[in-house]
Amino acid sequence: MKSFRQELRQQLQARDEDRLLRHRHILHSPQGTEIILNGEHVTSFCSNDYLGLAGHPDVIQAYHDGLEQFGAGSGASHLVSGHMAAHHDLEEELATFTGRSRALVFSSGYMANIGVITTLVGKGDSIFEDRLNHASLLDGGLFSGAAFRRYPHLDAGALEVLLNAADSKRKLVVSDGVFSMDGDMADLPQLVNAAMKHDALLMIDDAHGFGVLGEDGGGTAAFWREQGHDIDEDNLQILIGTFGKAFGASGAFVAGSEELIETLIQFCRPYIYTTAMPPAQAEAIRASLKLVRKDRWRREYLAHLVTRFRHHSDDLGLELLPSRTPIQAIVLGDVELTLKASACLLEAGVFVSAIRPPTVAPGSARLRVTFSAIHTEEQFLKLLHALEGVARLKGQAVGQ
């Protein structure tokens, strides 16, 4: 019989032979557009720090002040003695920001998604998810014990067919607001209509939408409201956001009705049995939230960069997925070509990760370019110039 270590070694070897083995890069600098990666200075275009707030002096100062006031850690879970004033104030501000009755802070987005789904649905219920949902949403559906159905990406018609066929006590429709690997948006009006027609709850994880979309950074729901659609907590009952993207920190929150939040406080195991996030972190997020709402120029500048990038990529013959967000995916398909393209960019001093299966579907390997509001014109032109090398690689591969 093979030893446990031998089995693991063979599994890792197989992944390596398929060129799918992942490796961690080491940053020796703060997160930003100019970083020290594995000891080398490079320009980064693969961070989710969309608004450039991770290193903002106001956010850093708020963290420092929070450390002085509250100490390094919360010391307990929220329901024991770890729910501090910083957490409570942040939750009230998030409720106002999202236009919901209440909000609840979690230590991570993965924990929030797993916790909410497994609290709200179980055996005898049904859950319906977009095929390209984030792994935490898919895992939450699998862990819940509910009947789990996936519909084709952004296909509200297919979702309605599944909803119509389901005979269950509670139905829950779950989707990303902005899809993390493609950068496209969910059509919330269609999802709202489908859920309401079939008496289902709707849950949106807007990790990549908050701060980026909407005039005040209110995310995907705010974007659609500004287009004239009625989207509120009565028809979008569960709204998830994270602090690890546009907010420049880490952690997550759930926003919704009074009844939803109180139910999670009482029954959500990942919330109840986890030490609360450091209160200083909550203070830093409060500072980020002020900047998200105030600095509209950050969103405007991001939109400007995205428009220019898409025009230039089209001129180079690089295939982009449809996206109006800072997530711009250059699909190359072949894993080996994608790895070579990422290495080509790194040689030019530009860091863009190669995204491969199983993170994305087989045959859809890609370069995932992400923009920040603090990318300079010089950095942007550096990227565009480096992409000329990627276009040549692609042309050579096609010509073989």
Catalytic residue status for 208: yes
Using the predicted structure, report yes or no on whether residue 292 has a pLDDT greater than 90.
Answer: yes
Mean of the pLDDT values across residues 266-282?
A: 97
Of the candidates 180, 342, 364, 372, the residue annotated as catalytic is 180
* Strand partners of residue 203: 174, 238
Q: Which residues of 33-51 are buried (b: 16+ CB within 10 A; e: fewer)?
A: bebebeeeebbbbbbbbbb
Q: Is the peptide bond before 362 cis (omega within 30 degrees of 0)?
A: no
Which is the catalytic residue, given 56, 245, 375, 382?
Answer: 245
Average pLDDT, the chain: 96
DSSP 150-173: EE-TT-HHHHHHHHHH---S-EEE
What pLDDT, in 10s, does the model give residues 87-106?
999 999 999 999 999 999 99
DSSP per position, 104-140: EEES-HHHHHHHHHHHH--TT-EEEEETT--HHHHHH
Select which of 83, 208, 375, 394 is catalytic. Answer: 208
Instruction: Decide: 128 and 197 in contact? Cβ < 8 Å.
Output: no
User: What percent of the chain is modeled with pLDDT above 70?
Assistant: 99
- Output the pLDDT for position 1: 63
CB neighbours of residue 250 within 10 Å: 18
Respond yes or no: is residue 175 known to be catalytic. Answer: no
At 127-140, the pLDDT tens digits run 999 999 999 999 99
* Overall pTM surpassing 0.85 (yes/no): yes
Rounded average pLDDT over 208-227? 96
What values do phi and psi take at 108, rounded to 5?
-155, 160
Q: Where are the domains of the chain?
A: 20-51+296-399, 57-294
CA distance 350 to 343: 9
Active site residue 290: no
Q: Which of 223, 231, 220 is nearest to 195 (CA)?
A: 231
The identity of residue 4, as a single letter, is: F
| CATH T-level fold of 20-51+296-399 | Aspartate Aminotransferase, domain 1 (3.90.1150)
Q: What confidence tier does 396 reach under pLDDT thresholds 50, 70, 90?
A: confident
Q: Which of 3-17, 102-116, 120-134 has the lowest mean pLDDT?
A: 3-17
> What pLDDT score does 395 carry?
82
Instruction: State how far the Cα of 370 lies from the Cα of 250, in Å rounded to an integer.
Output: 18
- Pick the more confident residue, 9 or 396: 9
Q: Cβ atoms within 10 A of the Cβ of 67, count?
A: 16
Q: Is the pLDDT of residue 400 over 60?
A: no
Determine the Cα–Cα distance for residues 299 and 279; give it in Å rounded to an integer: 28
pLDDT of residue 382: 97
Identify the CATH assignment for 57-294 out of 3.40.640.10, 3.40.50.300, 2.60.450.10, 2.60.34.30. 3.40.640.10
> 206: which residues sit within 8 A by CB, 6+ positions away?
176, 177, 178, 219, 220, 221, 239, 240, 241
